[in-house]
Each structure stands twice: as structure tokens, then as C-alpha cells.
Amino acid sequence: MFAAGRPHIAIPGPSVMPDAVLAAMQRPAPDIYDPALIAMTESITADLRWLAATTHDVALYIANGHATWEAALHNILAPGDEVLVLVTGHFALGWADMARGLGIGVELMEFGRNMPADPDRLESRLRADGEGRIRAVLVCQTDTATGIRSDIPALRAAMDAAGHDALLVADCVASLGCELFEMDDWGVDITLSASQKGLMTPPGMGFVWFGPRAAALRERRENVSRYWDWTPRARPDDGLWQYFDGTAPTHHLYALRVALDLMKAEGREAIWYRHATLARAIWAAVDVWSEDGPLRIEVPDRTARSHAVTALHAGGDLGERLSRWTRELAGLTLGVGLGHDPQSAWFRIGHMGHVNAQMILGALATIEAGLQALDAPHGRGAIDAAAGVIATASRTG
């Protein structure tokens, strides 16, 4: 009814893409033997290192985020090896299953659906692994389903404290390009991400950064899949095709180049501050709404909340009804619950990548309208509160 305008798809990925990123794909197929393409790809790998704050290698894949799980595991582990998966929501379970598919032994350490990974439990478990059977610890910096963000440096410290030499593998699909991440400083061995969230590019590319300890494990592998093998991808010596083991994803490269240009122009710290502020604006609104009614954010601990995605409990089937109202009547598409029970009680807001204050405030005000339209009890003044967060941050930022 009031939706006939520019829609805002506020799902937690694929995220809103800048016009310039899309425009970069609006071009004919290039000559894939043009040296300019290799130079552009080199510049992309350089900037991906900048983004992850690492001097190590990065391999590019035509893939989605799940594929990077398999790519990373395959490069370092053989059937029979074991991993410890820190489960903070939904996606770690898929990752664990991916490992099982490769014949890898999986041990789950579960933290529920609203708590981050606990470094103390990790340390205890690793101390108990005297034989060093656990080859890698797998953790999502942010779980896209729940919005839980784990403390990667604290987990690294726990591993160090335990004196265990398992690799630390961090899935940053939902966090990279949105919030603080320092691969080398934090001692992350392998970082994973993909194009379609903080990187503001259509889905279709995945990235695996790997440090020297990971590279060393790769060297010990036999029968490495040519397609997953990260070595020639990270250090190609025979043309563009080696970056991708075959035809390069030319149009994604052009798009990603533009996205990285935008990110470099804004700066990592500015990007983080923007996301942090917008996340806090959302939290402030929900704080007000929850004063009178059931609306609440899934993750109670603010320090464990993602700055890129927020899962909200509305109760009953309000998550579903509210989402339908905002989409059909107001032009705002919210994310559905994922792994939530009942799903209809939940909804998610994606606030990652190409998002600014007017978009997020518009989403919140639209939710306010929906709550009113559906006669859902909720505290008033939420948008003023959210606006206040941004107003304050604008003076101190």
C-alpha cells in the first residue's frame, strides 16, 4: 500500500550493494588474457589483506561462504583428523557437518543461542587434549542467525594459555568489513569470508586468508583437491586462470574492486565506527520497545552482540506478521528467523555493509509503524532514542 518506492532489503546478506558496485558488472566480457586483469586481481588480494589486517596469503574462490569452510578444512586436514567446533548459534553446526563430510572427526562445544564462545571452557578442553588430537578450533566471529559475536582475541589467549597448537580458524563471513578484526594481531591462523555481506558485492566469491602455520599443514597434505588447493590461488605464477583454477569470475572481480575502493576511501576505523553506532541505535530502540512488551534482542550481553546483524524476538507470531507488514505495506524486507523456534516469533535485521543512518532509522521507524498497525504492545519513543545515539555519536566520533 505504501511500499511502491525504493525497497530496503534489510536481511543479513546478501546485503545492499552500492550502485557503483553493480555498475561495474555492467560490461562486456573482457579478454581474460589482458594483463590488466591480473593487475586488478593482484590489487584485490592486496586490499583483502589490508581489510583482514594480515601480511599472509589469501586465496580467492568462486564460491559462497560455505565453500570456504570446505576449502579451508580440506587444505589443512585429512580424513581422521579432528576439530573442535565452538557453536554459538546456527552456522557452526553447518560447518561441523561440512567437516564430517570430509571424514574429519568433529567435537562440538555448545554455548547456546545467545552467548558467545567461552574462552575458559575452550582453555579447559584444550588442556585436556594432551595428545594434541584437536588440530583446529573453528569459530564464527559472528553467527548470522543469532547475531552472537565471540571474542576472538580472548579465544586465542585461551589457546595460548593452554599451550595447545591447534589452528584457530575464524569464519568472518558476517563480520569482515563491518567490525574490528585483526588477523595477525589476534593470532588467527585462517580467516574466511565471502563477497555478499560486509564486502557489498553480489554473492559468488569466497576468500580464505591463511598464515604460515596453516600453510605448513597444507604442505603435509596428500591428494589435495586441485580446486580447493589454496597454494596456486594465493601465489599464482601462470596467469589469471591460476587464481581461480580455471576461468576467473570476471564480473565479480570488477564489482569487488569497486567495493574495496569504497572501503579504502572510508577507512577501516570509520567503517567500524559506523557499524557500531548504527548497531547501538538499533539496541537503543529495542530497549525502549521492550519497556512495554515482549520485543527483545536475542543476545542480552551487549559486548557479545554483532554490529552487523541483530536477531529479535517479538513473541507469538509477531515476527512473521510484522515482517509481512513492513514488506507489503512499507517497502522494508526484514530477515526471517533462522533456527529459531517458533520461527514466526523472530525476525532479523541486517545492518551490514552499505548502510547509513537514514536507512537504519528508516527501518526502525518502519518497525514502529508496523508495531502500531498490528496493535503490538511496545514502549514509545524508540526512534527518538535511536536518533539520539546517532546524534551523540556524530558529535564525538
Residue 217, all three cell numbers: 599443514
Residue 332's φ and ψ, nearest 5 degrees, are -115, 120
Cα separation of 159 and 149, whole Å? 18
* Binding test (CB under 8 A) with a second copy, winner from 226, 237, 238, 341: 226
Look at the alpha carbons of 54, 56, 60, 61 in this order and tell me if their dihedral is positive or negative. Answer: negative
User: Least distance in Å: CB of 295 to a second copy?
Assistant: 15
Is 29 a binding residue for a second copy by CB under 8 A? The answer is yes
Residue 29 CB neighbours (<10 A): 7
Is 342 a binding residue for a second copy by CB under 8 A? The answer is no
Q: Which is nearer to a second copy, 214 or 390 (CB)?
A: 390
**CA angle at 351 for the pair 345 and 356, rounded to the nearest 5°:** 135
DSSP per residue over 77-119, as a string?
--TT-EEEEEESSSHHHHHHHHHHHTT-EEEEEE--SSS---H
DSSP per residue over 181-242, as a string?
--TTTTT-SEEEEETTSTT-S-S-EEEEEE-HHHHHHHHH-SS--TTT-HHHHHS--S-HHH
Cα separation of 177 and 352, whole Å? 8
Q: Which stretch binds a second copy (CB under 8 A): 31-39, 113-121, 147-155, 164-172?
A: 31-39
Q: Which stretch binds a second copy (CB under 8 A): 106-114, 130-138, 149-157, 363-371?
A: 363-371
* Binding test (CB under 8 A) with a second copy, winner from 35, 101, 132, 300: 101
Q: Which stretch binds a second copy (CB under 8 A): 42-50, 129-137, 152-160, 379-387?
A: 379-387
Q: For residues 208 and 73, is the Cβ–Cβ distance under 8 A? A: no
DSSP per residue over 318-380, as a string?
HHHHHHHHIIIIISEEEEEPSS-SSGGGEEEEE--SS--HHHHHHHHHHHHHHHHHTT----S
Is 5 a binding residue for a second copy by CB under 8 A? The answer is yes
Q: Which is nearer to a second copy, 162 or 367 (CB)?
A: 367
* Binding test (CB under 8 A) with a second copy, winner from 55, 79, 237, 303: 79
Q: Interface residues for a second copy in 296-315 (CB under 8 A)?
A: none
Is 196 a binding residue for a second copy by CB under 8 A? The answer is yes
Is 363 a binding residue for a second copy by CB under 8 A? The answer is yes
# residues contacting a second copy (CB under 8 A): 116
* Binding test (CB under 8 A) with a second copy, winner from 89, 177, 204, 211: 204
Is 154 a binding residue for a second copy by CB under 8 A? The answer is no
Is 169 a binding residue for a second copy by CB under 8 A? The answer is no
Q: Which stretch binds a second copy (CB under 8 A): 43-51, 121-129, 176-184, 225-233?
A: 225-233
Q: Which stretch binds a second copy (CB under 8 A): 117-125, 147-155, 240-248, 306-314?
A: 240-248
Residue 322 CB neighbours (<10 A): 23
Q: Which is nearer to a second copy, 187 or 339 (CB)?
A: 339
Is 341 a binding residue for a second copy by CB under 8 A? The answer is no
Is 27 a binding residue for a second copy by CB under 8 A? The answer is yes
Q: Which stretch binds a second copy (CB under 8 A): 44-52, 124-132, 160-168, 272-280?
A: 272-280
The DSSP symbol for 270 reads: H
Cα separation of 390 and 220, whole Å? 51
Is 87 a binding residue for a second copy by CB under 8 A? The answer is no
Is 227 a binding residue for a second copy by CB under 8 A? The answer is yes
User: Least distance in Å: CB of 208 to a second copy?
Assistant: 13
**CA angle at 390 for the pair 387 and 392, rounded to the nearest 5°:** 105
